Amino acid sequence: MSRFRLSYFIVSCLFVLMTLGFSSVSQACTGMRVKAKDGSLVFARSMEFGTQTESDLMVAPRGMTWTSQAPDGSKGLHWKSKYAFVGPDGLTMKRPLEGINEKGLYVGGFWMPAGEAAFPNLDPADYSKAVSQLDFVARLLSTCATVDEVRAEVSGMKLAGVEIKQLNLLPLAHWTALDSTGRMIAIESIGGKVAITDNPVGVFTNAPYFAWHLEHLRMYINLRPDNVDSAQIGDYRMKPFGEGSGLIGLPGDLTPPSRFVRAAFFADSALTPADADGAVTLGMNLIAAFSIPTGVSRGTGSDGKPEYDFTQWTTVYDLSRKVVYFRTYDNQDYRKVRFDALPLDGTAPRFIPMWNVKPSYRDVSDQAKSAQ
């Protein structure tokens, strides 16, 4: 093995070990855009976390006031919601981790490990204008209607990092935004500088930074949804073992780079649905391939105890009809929330239970009596 190949192998192994072994919280979130032939748009996302988020679905009305936090714990930016939005909160913070608003804009945060991201160091003179990473999603969903408006808002924002007491750390993140036209961007703070990048593939995961993932896709340029008929070496003709031979080499591990490649290929190869109903169904089926059972991904928390990164909830957003579908680890039945059935004006949020809601499996045994 050459020195270059050996160095590359060592770096690759270290990267995988760091990604799999990083302690606590979310390393495995995946998001995917789905477009239908009639223009309908859906975004599906899985939420993985090592600590139980105990999330509920937050309904934040128009007219609600928000006050963000500055790095020193003082009050940051204060504003009033222009648009209502719906999205899961977490860790009893009553702050959305992702969601869509009444204009069909989606914004979602995805975990980044230490060393992969760094928030700007704000001048104390700007603390009163600070928007913490915990309020980033709320700020954009409550004030922006399009990706262009998100760009403008972020370019003038005083983004700040603050500590979460429940996790005893300052969580890092990067974000994706998608509007009703299908335009999608990545928003990242790398080395203390905030950058916005167009997302031409419509999928999103975790570390490294987004542009790296696009370059990494080139490693899998050979992948095809079509089966390989046969191949020949010398006088030996090889036949495939079965279906999926065009996908040989598709990474199947749980690291963010591998999930990005898998999500990009699945989303691009799946047959385009005809309408919104088909897009929702496809989104549910696509994101199901990224669900992680408890115990498959293991790490150690900051308290030294074992932690298991697992899919705590899955969301599917119909941006065209303003409908949110969600299910949780303990309740695999999708539940639906419609914007047109919600109170969208007010001064305080409302919450729809997600956590600790047991499934009500429909018993269809009696159908056997008439199925003759």
pLDDT digits (tens, 9 = 90+) for 201-233: 999 999 999 999 999 999 999 999 999 999 999
Residue showing tokens 């799999």: 20
Residues 238-247 pLDDT 10s = 999 999 999 9
Distance CA 42, CA 34 (A): 5
Kindly report the number of other CB atoms within 10 A of residue 274's CB atom: 12
| Stated pTM of the model | 0.91
Residue showing tokens 């896709």: 217
Residues 155-198 pLDDT 10s = 999 999 999 887 788 889 999 999 999 999 999 999 999 999 99
Quote the tokens at residue 237.
């003709």
* Domains along the chain with CATH numbers: 23-209+269-357 (3.60.60.10)
Residues 6+ apart with CB under 8 A from 323: 280, 317, 336, 337, 338, 339
Banded pLDDT at 305 (limits 50, 70, 90): confident
| Confidence check: pLDDT of 2 > 60 | no
Kindly report the number of other CB atoms within 10 A of residue 363's CB atom: 7
The arithmetic mean of pLDDT across residues 240-267, rounded, is: 96
* DSSP label at residue 360: -
Q: Which residue type is seen at 174?
A: H
| Confidence check: pLDDT of 16 > 80 | no
Kindly report the number of other CB atoms within 10 A of residue 88's CB atom: 26
b/e per residue, 275-312, with b = 16+ CB within 10 A?
A: ebebbbebbbebbeebbbeeeebebeeeeeeebbbbbb
In percent, the amount of the chain with pLDDT more than 90 equals 83
* DSSP label at residue 1: -
Residues 58-70 pLDDT 10s = 999 999 999 999 9
| Confidence check: pLDDT of 22 > 50 | no
Residues 6+ apart with CB under 8 A from 123: none
